[in-house]
């Protein structure tokens, strides 16, 4: 990240911290550490960052290297259990779910999904960790767990009421056996008051929209979560409707509108249509 880019991000981060307070970021599936923008924000104490991954050797190495991030050497899921982790040729494709080679054989990249081993790892539900005080309540989640995103979300269903933004990897075909696909993940998050903000195609699948990074947030509120959403979308590099950066100009007028009679409000907004 260039100095100029971080200076711009820092302005947004400073405002978010002042208006919202402590901002907690969880990277779930953090084998390679935080991406540069979030890492820079953690180093400068604009966010409190936590990482979770069952690859213990990697996690311990990251913990030694990054004293500005708190790492945990276990996986997250729907409940506390010991679970089989399937290791693949490319470690980042390892999953609790078996690769679906009936589909993957159609793509040159299928080699990276070849199974090279198995292990048993510890899994915790995020709701339980928060209830026990082992970790704080997060406001931003990043989840990259190779088809296992929905069980993780189900394991933090109580937590989601306070989460503002979520970035997760999702699939449109069954790359892993019995995985939840994008429509099911989207439906679950919509039940928890999230809206889909953007999809960005991901993966070496000959241009097919097979896998994507999906970005969800709560609806922007004028004087509550808007600065956190601005920070998140800027750090993630996703596009934003202009209104998110115009809301400062609208804020006093909207607050006045929202305290008035709704009939008058409708007349003002739609009377000339």
Domain boundaries of the chain, sorted by first residue? 3-240, 241-273
Q: How far is CA 147 from the centre of its chain?
A: 14
Q: How far apart are CA 144 and CA 154, in angstroms?
A: 15
Backbone angles phi, psi at 214, to 5 degrees: -110, 140
List the alpha helices (DSSP H) in the chain: 3-20, 36-43, 56-65, 101-104, 126-131, 149-154, 182-191, 226-236, 243-258, 262-270
pTM, whole model, 2 decimals? 0.87
The one-character DSSP state at 202 is E
Q: How far apart are CA 144 and CA 169, in angstroms?
A: 5
- H/E stretch holding 214 reads strand 211-218
Strands, sheet with 75-77, edge to edge from the N-terminal-most edge strand: 75-77, 115-125, 81-88
State how beta strands 115-125 and 81-88 pair.
antiparallel
pLDDT in tens, the chain (273 residues): 666 588 999 999 999 999 999 999 999 999 999 999 999 999 999 999 999 999 999 999 999 999 999 999 999 999 999 999 999 999 999 999 999 999 999 999 999 999 999 999 999 999 999 999 999 999 999 999 999 999 999 999 999 999 999 999 999 999 999 999 999 999 999 999 999 999 999 888 888 999 999 999 999 875 678 999 999 999 999 876 554 555 555 555 555 555 555 556 555 555 544
**3-240 under CATH 3.20.20.450, yes or no:** no
221-234 in b/e form (b: 16+ CB < 10 A) is eeeebbbbbbbbbb
The answer to whether 211 touches 113, Cβ cutoff 8 Å, is no
């Amino acid at each position: 990240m260039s100095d100029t880019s971080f200076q711009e991000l820092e302005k947004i981060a400073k405002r978010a911290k002042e208006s919202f307070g402590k901002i907690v970021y969880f990277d779930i599936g953090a084998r390679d550490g935080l991406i540069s923008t979030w890492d820079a924000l953690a180093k400068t104490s604009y966010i409190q960052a936590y990482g979770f991954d069952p690859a213990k050797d990697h996690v311990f190495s990251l913990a030694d290297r990054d004293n500005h991030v708190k790492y945990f050497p276990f996986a997250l899921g729907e409940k506390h259990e010991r679970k089989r982790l399937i290791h693949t040729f490319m470690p980042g494709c390892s999953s609790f779910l078996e690769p679906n080679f009936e589909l993957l054989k159609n793509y040159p990249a299928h080699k990276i999904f070849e199974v090279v081993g198995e292990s048993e790892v510890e899994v915790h539900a995020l709701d339980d960790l928060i209830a026990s005080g082992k970790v704080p309540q997060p406001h931003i989640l990043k989840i990259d767990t190779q088809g296992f995103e929905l069980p993780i979300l189900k394991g933090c269903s109580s937590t989601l009421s306070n989460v503002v933004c979520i970035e997760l990897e999702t699939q449109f075909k069954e790359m892993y056996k019995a995985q939840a696909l994008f429509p099911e993940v989207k439906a679950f998050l919509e039940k928890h008051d999230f809206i889909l903000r953007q999809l960005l195609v991901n993966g070496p699948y000959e241009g097919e929209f097979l896998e994507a990074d999906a970005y969800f947030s709560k609806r922007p509120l004028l004087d509550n979560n808007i600065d956190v959403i601005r920070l998140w979308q800027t750090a993630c590099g996703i596009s934003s409707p202009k209104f998110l950066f115009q809301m400062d100009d609208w804020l006093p007028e909207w607050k006045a509108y929202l305290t008035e009679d709704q009939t008058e409000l409708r007349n003002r907004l739609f009377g000339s249509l």
